[in-house]
Amino acid sequence: MAYPDDLLVEGEEVVIHRHPHWKMLVLPVLAFLVTIGLAVYAAALIRNLSWAGYGWIGLAVVATVIIVWLTVTPLVRWRTTHFVLTTHRVLVREGVLSRQGLDIPVSRINSVQFRHTIVERLLGCGTLVIESASDEPLEFDDVPGVEKVYAMLYNEVADSDVSD
């Protein structure tokens, strides 16, 4: 899904648009599977009891609350988090009901670094560190294809320095 063009300034183009790495969804999927498994097991245990109908309704309500809390919420959070590199800036947008964003003009970036552990290398993600005119470097975790993003961002910074 492309980043909305109406949020870009004139002459600005999206170079790369990423959501956090899919590894953030492993625990929510496991929580979903465990919740369903436990709910089915509990439903089988109470099926012959006189109050089984009420028990199944209670199980369904509890399982739904747990699934929404541990699976749907992280999935929506993942889907609504954007890391966007354009020809003019780096944008980070997060949130569903309350949104927060960060824009770093490419011309203000002093240095770009990346790091990843052996597991992150195998998964193809890592941490991108951007030092700008601000006091502390900004770290963006779980960036998929971090080396490619790093190279593209470095090229944009170099192009910005040449055009200045």
The residue extents of the domains of the chain are 13-20+82-163, 25-77
pLDDT at 140: 93
More confident residue, 158 or 41: 41
For residue 159, name the pLDDT band (cuts at 50, 70, 90): confident
More confident residue, 154 or 4: 154
For 13-77, give the DSSP string.
-EEEEEPPPGGGGHHHHHHHHHHHHHHHHHHHHHTTSTTHHHHHHHHHHHHHHHHIIIIIHHHHH
Q: What is the CA radius of gyration of the chain?
A: 22
Averaged pLDDT for residues 51-79: 94
Cα distance between residue 57 and residue 65, in whole Å: 12
pLDDT at 31: 97
Is the pLDDT at 135 greater than 90, yes or no?
no
For residue 7, name the pLDDT band (cuts at 50, 70, 90): confident
pLDDT in tens, 147-158: 999 999 988 888
Alpha carbon of residue 115 to chain centroid = 17
For residue 68, name the pLDDT band (cuts at 50, 70, 90): very high
What are the phi and psi torsion angles at 21 (to 5°)? -65, 150
CATH of region 13-20+82-163:
2.30.29.30
Structure tokens at 109: 């970036």
